[in-house]
Chain A
């Protein structure tokens, strides 16, 4: 490593940054004003950037220069992605990097606060083939029991998950193909979930969250694999879990008229907060409709509503994470940390922090700026006021 460079520079941070910003080394080099080879050396660790170059680098990628000198926190477990096959490798890397940043934030804040205890029913199977449908139904039911949700509609799944110690992130990722991912942090011994907010559909987002909870509960001890068949099986199991968690057999089945019409499904969708498509899949999983009926329902659904959306998709506001946001609010309110010091302490840009912790846009700039209502000058009041304060007495009309 070059002697003149910043010695504490962590080259892995640069790799993380490239992934998180989804930019190539060449693009970064032109933004910083150095050659691509120099960036390559920084990244490999054979050379560290000079002080000036580091400042430029930090400015163009919108973090503090000091962030590049922070030791890398231990990696999360390999995440499971809810995505279709076309999802690009760089897209996955980006989300993985964002999830790692969420972990960095949570670790930094855990110096001051205790998060809710982790309360998930974890299964210890090491092979996905070991699960039966019954196991999955039982795991979902146990989850509801642990979270004291009864067997009716879940009012707010995000709240329940965070209450069970899950660190939840929901942000616009720009990657429509990946709905979410989940992983375990060994450092914090707690799970992380990142949900894509791109579709802005409260029903689908709820199901995505239930799906990721399924991965956390069922697949913690299952080795990750890129084999498509194995990946497909894991996805199917997480889907089954999500259906069972959101639509428990014993209470949901009672409310369904068989065979259902699409309009029946729309009513159920509103009531249970689950899309009509997911309800059809659940009915099939419960053997309440057979394969032919399921296909017929999907055909009718496509014919009436098209393939991409359903009526009423905008009726439900997506559930928003609260835990990290509340943690920052708490630290500021209890005067543990001044508002303006939070981004400095965490090393990330205000925009990144606001997205990863679900804080409102401009939170770090505007929190303490109390807007004053315009007040009329005293002189103006005096000049407009009548000279005498004695009012004229208006007599009532006398009835004749």
Chain B
């Protein structure tokens, strides 16, 4: 971009930024004869998740949550009613951690070792995966853990996929974090042996908002979808010389 020599600094800075922005979002396209063409950003959070987390791993985690919750409830049977909800809650943590760890290990997602009540995490593609449980409607548990908050800081890199910044573009991230959340009813009277829903959630860098959140049921269906709507390939093509020959012969209508 040509910049006049005598331009106040502030304007120069803004101008530089706009120039950078133009370079980032409107790349030079040689195939369009040198015109700048606006590139539509196609990457999405769910696209990134689908690309990095294999379907069998998601299915395994879904199963691990169900089985872990079931084991926890079974193990708590016989405890005093007075502290049964707490016992079930704690046992869910341990049993679901264990099942989660095995699901990660069996699907080559490099789980960290189980240690005390620490968070179990694994790695697949650019994503670090971890889990927590929460009440179905209220996810106030999520931010309680300092470790989870620190982990979420990595998602700064993928925030532009949801809200693109004016001065910073999106670059493919090297790190990101996704949580699998087991949502329970919050009362042992309602479905105590299994989560009400299971969700996959991607927090923002402060873990105050969710960049993406979806039930595992729906999320798994995304793997089944074709990359695009069904292509219409059932089209004949005129042979190269057909129309031209007729014109030369003068036999066309």
Q: How far is the CB of A191 from chain B (nearest CB, A)?
A: 14
Q: How far is the CB of A321 from chain B (nearest CB, A)?
A: 8
Query: Given known contacts A112-B242, A336-B243, is B236 in contact with A163 (CB within 8 Å)?
Result: no
User: Which residue from A322, A323, A334 sits with its C-beta under 8 Å from B243?
Assistant: A334
A156 proximal to B (CB < 8 A): yes
Q: How far is the CB of B227 from chain A (nearest CB, A)?
A: 7
Query: Given known contacts A151-B223, A152-B221, is B229 in contact with A336 (CB within 8 Å)?
Result: no
Number of interface residues of A (CB under 8 A): 32
B163 proximal to A (CB < 8 A): no
Q: How far is the CB of B68 from chain A (nearest CB, A)?
A: 20
| B236 in contact with A114 (CB, 8 Å) | yes
| B234 in contact with A151 (CB, 8 Å) | no
Query: Given known contacts A113-B238, A336-B246, is B232 in contact with A251 (CB within 8 Å)?
Result: no
Query: Given known contacts A151-B223, A251-B224, is B234 in contact with A113 (CB within 8 Å)?
Result: no
Query: Given known contacts A114-B237, A116-B235, A323-B236, is B242 in contact with A152 (CB within 8 Å)?
Result: no
| A115 in contact with B225 (CB, 8 Å) | no
Q: How far is the CB of B127 from chain A (nearest CB, A)?
A: 22
Q: How far is the CB of A45 from chain B (nearest CB, A)?
A: 36
A113 to chain B: closest residue by CB: B236
Chain A interface, DSSP helix/strand/loop, else mixed: loop
| A323 in contact with B253 (CB, 8 Å) | no
User: Which residue from A114, A151, A156, A251 sits with its C-beta under 8 Å from B230?
Assistant: A156
| A335 in contact with B253 (CB, 8 Å) | yes
| B220 in contact with A338 (CB, 8 Å) | no
Chain B residues in 8 Å Cβ range of A212 = none
| Distance A290 CA – B66 CA, assembled complex (angstroms) | 25
Chain A residues in 8 Å Cβ range of B42 = none
Q: How far is the CB of B45 from chain A (nearest CB, A)?
A: 20
Chain B residues in 8 Å Cβ range of A334 = 238, 242-243
Chain B residues in 8 Å Cβ range of A150 = 224-227
Q: Which of A86-138 contact B (CB under 8 A)?
A: 109, 111-116
Chain B residues close to A by CB (< 8 Å)? 55, 220-221, 223-239, 242-243, 246, 252-253
Chain A residues close to B by CB (< 8 Å)? 109, 111-116, 148-152, 154-156, 159-160, 162-164, 250-251, 254, 322-323, 326-327, 330, 334-336, 338
Q: Enumerate the 3 nearest inter-chain pairs by beta-carbon distance, A residue then B residue, closest first.
A: A163-B233, A150-B226, A162-B234
